[in-house]
Chains A and B, each alone.
Chain A
Amino acid sequence: MLDRKMILTAITAIGVIVLFMTVNIRGNWQFAMELRSMRLLALLQVAIAVSLSTLVFQTITSNRILTPSLMGMDALYILLQTTLVFALGGLGYATLDPIVKFSTETIVMAGLACLLFLPLLRFTNALVLMLLGGVVLGVMFRSLSSFLSRLIDPNDFAVVQGVSYADFNTVNADLIFPCLILIVFAALFCWRARHILDVILLGKPTAIGLGVNWRIYSVALLVLVGILVAVSTALVGPVTLLGLLVVALGRELAKTSKHSHTMIYSCLVSIILLVGGQTILSHLFANALPLGVLIEFVGGITFIFILFRWRQ
């Protein structure tokens, strides 16, 4: 299983991490290390959360172009935030205990993910229907958020704006450790379920025929996706096309659809892109170009590329 390509990819990922930690350090090393290691931890979590959630979502829906974000899941998270600001006011929102707030949101996200997306799973054979359903849901969540943000006063609106855009420079430091626990459990769960995910990729009827408890796994995996989206959105904000990009690249490298491979490759690619991209952009371009924008740009091109290949 450990072939040369995987080792090379892993070494690249580690190299990128080392660069991120050491390039251009001036002044107090200890301070820089502390600051950078917190950021690194957040970036790694986002990388893993985004790639695992996309991969798992694509497996349960048996397709390669849908991602939780395209289906409106991070829009749902933003809607939750906006609703909270609307209900509590900017000050009330800011004084909420971040961990209590985050854990409640995660539970709500997991629940809503099931509630909204389980019915859509019936249409896995009709990809266009799924895609349309997701797009409509996404638009609805975004419109509701913007409707709510029109009703609140400008100061509160600034709070909403702060959470609505991906920002890899200012990570939500309070949440790094609670998220870490979730990520570790989620990753362990995915890894343990890798063979079952392989079977689920064969489609619902075949998977049931091979003895997979579809009812339990479809719910469990959607809950997992909901949690992972909550984690990544809470840490840096919505990154719509990152998942699509890294999973597509991960699959390309893996050359197989075994989850033991695609999982590792997608995570590694995701780490290389996020950590490497952040290093290059902040040191070579002095933060002139936000990483989020660049990722959306490259991700968008990938999306079109995959769509074209899929049509053939």
Chain B
Amino acid sequence: MIELQNVSVALSGVPILSDINLELSGGGITALIGPNGAGKSTLVSAIARLVPTSAGRITVDGLDVAQTPTRTLARRLAIMPQDNVVAGRLKVAELVQFGRFPHHQGRPAAEDHAAVEEALTIFDLLDIKEKFIDTLSGGQRQRARAAMCFAQGTDYILLDEPLNSLDIFYARELMRTLRHVADTKQRSIIIVLHDLNHAAVHADRIIAMRDGSIIADSTPEKVLCTSVLQSVFGFEIDVETIAGKPISLHFL
């Protein structure tokens, strides 16, 4: 279980998150939604110890994130940061192998190779595993990075806007793969999303944020309704139930 108690984060004096209390547990996909600057990425980064908290406590399975050795945490949670360019010449399989680094510290054993193979299979990368990352399309690269997080073998996988600059095909593929991972591998996935409808279709729980606070935290049906979305995004969004899912018509 990931637990946040009264967490505040300020980056160079500017408060980004204020007094967040949150519990994340029990598998499934949790989507973080909200306008730009709401603090979604900061929240994910704080849980993954990428930014320090200015107040409060974050624990992962009871381990205080600020105190626990970073290597121990790397076996509990994996983070895919917002699109960072992979420097250097790496093949897809090599990148995914890095996900095993917390376990083997540079000397992969048989189980590490097996985990990489599994990740490559699940994320449909077997055909391109010998390709260099810098020759891939954006969609393939995001898939490879997500596969690396999966290969890390952690209970929690945090993804910061993985759908950034993906076309509808790759975005759908990636979300379906993540759903598959959450269902069959018992991983808890916490994902920052901009597309409300991806959240509606694939998430079990949606946390809506605005101005560094949590506005709503519930099932997609409860969060994705006109009144809540009005208070989150500041304009009226019609929501229709299509195929049993609350689809936001924010284009209209």
**In B82-113, which residues have CB < 8 Å from any A CB?**
84-90, 98-99, 101-102, 105-107
Number of B residues contacting the other chain (C-beta, 8 Å)? 31
- Residue from the list B70, B80, B85 in contact with A211, Cβ < 8 A: B70
Stretch in B71-79, B123-131, B194-202, B222-230 with 4+ CB within 8 Å of A: B71-79
**Which residue numbers of A lie inside 8 Å of B, CB to CB?**
62-64, 125, 194-196, 198-199, 201-203, 205-206, 208-214, 255-257
Of the listed residues B49, B69, B84, B87, the one surrounded by the most CB atoms of chain A closer than 10 A to its CB is B87
* Contact residues in A for B70 (Cβ distance below 8 Å): 208, 211-214
Asked if A213 meets B88 with Cβ closer than 8 Å, knowing A195-B105, A205-B50, A205-B79, the reply is no
Flag whether B152 is at the interface (Cβ < 8 A).
yes
**In B204-251, which residues have CB < 8 Å from any A CB?**
none
Q: Beta-carbon contacts of B140-151 to A below 8 Å, as 1s and 0s?
A: 000000000100
Of the listed residues B69, B71, B86, B106, the one surrounded by the most CB atoms of chain A closer than 10 A to its CB is B106
Task: Indicate if the CB atoms of B79 and A211 lie closer than 8 Å.
Answer: no
Task: Report the separation of the CA atoms of residues A199 and B152 in the bound assembly, to the nearest whole angstrom.
Answer: 13
* Contact residues in B for A194 (Cβ distance below 8 Å): 106
Task: Report the separation of the CA atoms of residues A209 and B146 in the bound assembly, to the nearest whole angstrom.
Answer: 13
Asked if A210 meets B74 with Cβ closer than 8 Å, knowing A198-B98, A257-B88, the reply is yes
Task: Report the separation of the CA atoms of residues A213 and B73 in the bound assembly, to the nearest whole angstrom.
Answer: 11
Task: Report the separation of the CA atoms of residues A137 and B107 in the bound assembly, to the nearest whole angstrom.
Answer: 40
How far in angstroms is the closest Cβ of chain B from A55? Answer: 11
Task: Indicate if the CB atoms of A211 and B75 lie closer than 8 Å.
Answer: yes
Task: Indicate if the CB atoms of B106 and A209 lie closer than 8 Å.
Answer: no
Among all A-B residue pairs, the 3 with the closest Cβ atoms: A195-B106, A211-B74, A257-B88
* Contact residues in B for A255 (Cβ distance below 8 Å): 89
Task: Report the separation of the CA atoms of residues A63 and B86 in the bound assembly, to the nearest whole angstrom.
Answer: 10
How far in angstroms is the closest Cβ of chain A from B149? Answer: 8
Task: Indicate if the CB atoms of A203 and B98 lie closer than 8 Å.
Answer: no
How far in angstroms is the closest Cβ of chain B from A264? Answer: 16
Task: Report the separation of the CA atoms of residues A47 and B19 in the bound assembly, to the nearest whole angstrom.
Answer: 54
Asked if A201 meets B89 with Cβ closer than 8 Å, knowing A194-B106, A211-B71, A211-B74, the reply is no
Of the listed residues B101, B102, B105, the one surrounded by the most CB atoms of chain A closer than 10 A to its CB is B101
Please name 10 pairs of A and B residues whose Cβ atoms are closer than 8 Å in the assembled complex, sorted by A: A64-B87, A203-B84, A203-B86, A208-B70, A209-B79, A211-B70, A211-B72, A212-B71, A213-B69, A213-B70
Task: Indicate if the CB atoms of A210 and B98 lie closer than 8 Å.
Answer: yes
Known: A194-B106, A202-B86, A213-B71. 12 other contacts (CB 8 A): A195-B107, A203-B87, A205-B45, A206-B81, A209-B78, A210-B102, A211-B70, A212-B71, A213-B69, A213-B70, A256-B89, A257-B90
* Contact residues in A for B46 (Cβ distance below 8 Å): none
Task: Report the separation of the CA atoms of residues A195 and B81 in the bound assembly, to the nearest whole angstrom.
Answer: 21
Task: Report the separation of the CA atoms of residues A257 and B45 in the bound assembly, to the nearest whole angstrom.
Answer: 27
Task: Indicate if the CB atoms of A201 and B50 lie closer than 8 Å.
Answer: no
* Contact residues in A for B69 (Cβ distance below 8 Å): 213
* Contact residues in A for B181 (Cβ distance below 8 Å): none
Task: Report the separation of the CA atoms of residues A43 and B81 in the bound assembly, to the nearest whole angstrom.
Answer: 43
Flag whether B48 is at the interface (Cβ < 8 A).
yes
Task: Report the separation of the CA atoms of residues A206 and B85 in the bound assembly, to the nearest whole angstrom.
Answer: 10
* Contact residues in A for B45 (Cβ distance below 8 Å): 205
* Contact residues in A for B149 (Cβ distance below 8 Å): 209
* Contact residues in B for A64 (Cβ distance below 8 Å): 87
Task: Indicate if the CB atoms of A205 and B84 lie closer than 8 Å.
Answer: yes
Task: Give B154's nearest chain A residue, CB to CB.
Answer: A209
Task: Give A201's nearest chain B residue, CB to CB.
Answer: B88
* Contact residues in B for A199 (Cβ distance below 8 Å): 98, 101
- Residue from the list A125, A201, A210 in contact with B99, Cβ < 8 A: A210
Task: Indicate if the CB atoms of B74 and A209 lie closer than 8 Å.
Answer: yes
Task: Indicate if the CB atoms of A211 and B73 lie closer than 8 Å.
Answer: yes
Task: Indicate if the CB atoms of B81 and A209 lie closer than 8 Å.
Answer: yes
- Residue from the list A63, A205, A214, A257 in contact with B81, Cβ < 8 A: A205
Of the listed residues A63, A195, A202, A257, the one surrounded by the most CB atoms of chain B closer than 10 A to its CB is A202
How far in angstroms is the closest Cβ of chain A from B232? Answer: 26
Asked if A257 meets B87 with Cβ closer than 8 Å, knowing A195-B101, A210-B74, A210-B152, the reply is yes
